[in-house]
Amino acid sequence: FAGAAADEVADPRPYAELMRQWSSFHPEFSYLPRKFKIAVIASEKDRAAMRLHDIGIRIVKRGEELGAQFYAGGGMGRTPMIAPLIRDFVPLDQLITYAEACLRVYNRYGRRDNKYKARIKILVHELGAAEYTRQVEEEFAHMLAQGVEPPREELARIAAFFADPPFVDGPKSIDRSNPAFDAWVKANTHRHKHDSYVSAVISLKPAGGIPGDATAEQMRVMARLAKQYSFDELRVMHTQNVLLPHVAIADLPAVWAELDAAGLAAANMDTIEDIIACPGLDYCSLANARSIPLAQRISEKFAATGKSAALGELKLKISGCINACGHHHAGHIGILGVDKKGRENYQLSLGGSEAEDVSLAKITGPGFDEDGVIAAVEKVTDVYLARREDGERFLDTYRRIGMEPFKEALYV
Ligand code: SF4
């Protein structure tokens, strides 16, 4: 939603692009101990799993001044970690200098002897956040004197590529008497910084479908809609959906009607049907177990019983192995495929979040076979429905009552 959302203090994309251009082919960082991922956001809401990146940056406002909060050492994979805050305000004209200091310390001390311990999260964890920060600050002070920051004109040059499209004022509301249209607007549209527009999520999660898949014809429909109604722009989301970032509110009925005709109007964002699933054993040579058929069966089951709507926000994520491409550590409900003596088995975990209330999910206990894990998800959601208090999401109830009631339902 970057550059379109109503709640951002700035458009984070020029800063992300500045960092991309700075870091690509940077001679000092062309042989880092391992891969490195940076996320930049500019709102309280975290829609980019920011603290689960090697470096996470949140652009914030202090008085009238914009600056950056820096987090370092997050990640998923076999050793999931939440990045601690290492600096709560870096003036934006020192952004690259501070990032360079973070990378220098990692480049100097990150382990190269063991690829599983070579990520920055291990360094930050082993040194401790305070010591890592001390070293970064020392390096930062040294580099400020050297003047490595690109000139301001460079940011302005890049920002010009992210200029707003020519928005026009129009209606701020629309007739929503059609219940199906109303449900889609509620679930799939997000507030835009221009009040005559919204950002509209195209769900690639039809009940029983393969998460993130679209047919050639559906892709043509999305391309046409982007051209006609969203200034020729669509974005692929990490949630395996597609976003039309700038849709005039007046155009929503037409957009929805075309999506509906193409089988793309599922109104199920952030529900248990909106599952993130990695390719798993169907495609991936590293997998222990299949992810896709599991996602299909779960979404079909919950959609058919109508339970999905009753559950509200519930993020379920599936990975076919510990590499965690399906972000299972950060699922309200996470499922991990494991190998049990040559058979597919699934570990269930609860309580993860990749949003601003970030947390890592905890394993419930012994794993299940495919039928068993689907039944387990059902039991877990039953506990939630029985125990939730007013307005609580699944995650809130889990945090309030803890793991025990869920374990009792699963294993007793
Ligand atoms: S999590 Fe594992 S199985 Fe799934 S795509 Fe990644 S490497 Fe492959």
CA atoms within 13 Å, Cβ hemisphere of 358: 24
pLDDT of residue 103: 94
Residue nearest to atom 6 of ligand 1 (CA): 325
Q: Rounded to an integer, what distance in angstroms lies between the CA atom of residue 349 and that of residue 17?
A: 35
**Rounded distance, CA 258 to CA 395, Å?**
34
Any atom of ligand 1 within 6 Å of the Cβ of 105: no
The values of phi and psi at residue 87, to 5°, are -155, 125
Is any atom of ligand 1 closer than 6 Å to the C-beta of 280?
yes
Residue 116 predicted with pLDDT over 90: no
Q: Given the CA of residue 279, which atom of ligand 1 is nearest to it?
A: 5
Half-sphere exposure of 406 (CA within 13 A, CB side): 28
Q: Is 338 in the pocket of ligand 1 (CB under 6 A)?
A: no
Find out whether the beta carbon of 278 lies less than 6 Å from any atom of ligand 1: yes
Name the band, by pLDDT with cuts 50, 70 and 90, for residue 28: confident
| pLDDT over 90 (residue 127) | yes
In short, whether 77's Cβ falls inside 6 Å of ligand 1 is no
Tell me the best of 76, 325, 339 to mutate to test the pocket of ligand 1, counting ligand atoms within 8 Å of each CB and taking the most: 325
Question: Residue of the nearest CA to atom 2 in ligand 1?
Answer: 321
Pocket test for ligand 1, best of 35, 78, 319, 345 (most atoms within 8 A of CB): 319
CA 89 / ligand 1 centre spacing (Å): 36
Q: Is the pLDDT of residue 214 over 90?
A: yes
For ligand 1, pick from 238, 240, 278 the residue to mutate: most ligand atoms within 8 Å of CB: 278
Contact 315, 274 (CB under 8 A): yes
Residues in the chain: 412
For range 352-373, the mean pLDDT: 98
What's the CATH architecture for 179-261? 2-Layer Sandwich (3.30)
pLDDT above 70: percentage of residues in the chain: 100
Ligand 1 atom with the smallest distance to the CA of 288 is 3
Maximum alpha-carbon separation in the chain: 65
**Could you tell which of 210, 275, 276, 284 is best to mutate to test the pocket of ligand 1, judged by most ligand atoms within 8 Å of the CB?**
284
Average pLDDT over the chain reads 96
- pLDDT for 216-259, tens place per residue? 999 999 999 999 999 999 999 999 999 999 999 999 999 999 99
Atom of ligand 1 nearest to the CA of 324: 1
Asked if residue 287 has its Cβ within 6 Å of ligand 1, the reply is: yes
CATH of domain 13-162: 3.30.413.10
Q: Is 334 in the pocket of ligand 1 (CB under 6 A)?
A: no
30: pLDDT strictly greater than 90: no
CATH 3.30.70 domain range(s) in the chain: 179-261
List, in sequence order, every residue forming a beta bridge with 92; answer none if it has no partner: none
| Structure tokens that stand for 95 in this block | 């952004």
Which residue(s) pair with 41 in the sheet?
Answer: 58
321 lines ligand 1 (CB under 6 A): yes
- Residue 85 in tokens: 């805050």
Residue intervals in the chain for CATH 3.30.413.10? 13-162, 276-411
CATH architecture observed for domain 276-411: 2-Layer Sandwich (3.30)
Q: What distance in angstroms lies between residue 285's CA and the mean position of ligand 1's atoms?
A: 8
pLDDT for 31 beyond 90: no
Question: For residue 405, what pLDDT is reported?
Answer: 98
Q: Ligand 1: distance of its center to the CA of 279 in Å? A: 6
403 C-beta closer than 6 A to ligand 1: no
Give the ipTM of the model, two decimals please: 0.99
Lowest mean pLDDT among 29-33, 255-259, 337-341, 405-409: 29-33
- Is the pLDDT confidence value at 208 over 90? yes
Confidence category of residue 202, pLDDT binned at 50, 70, 90: very high
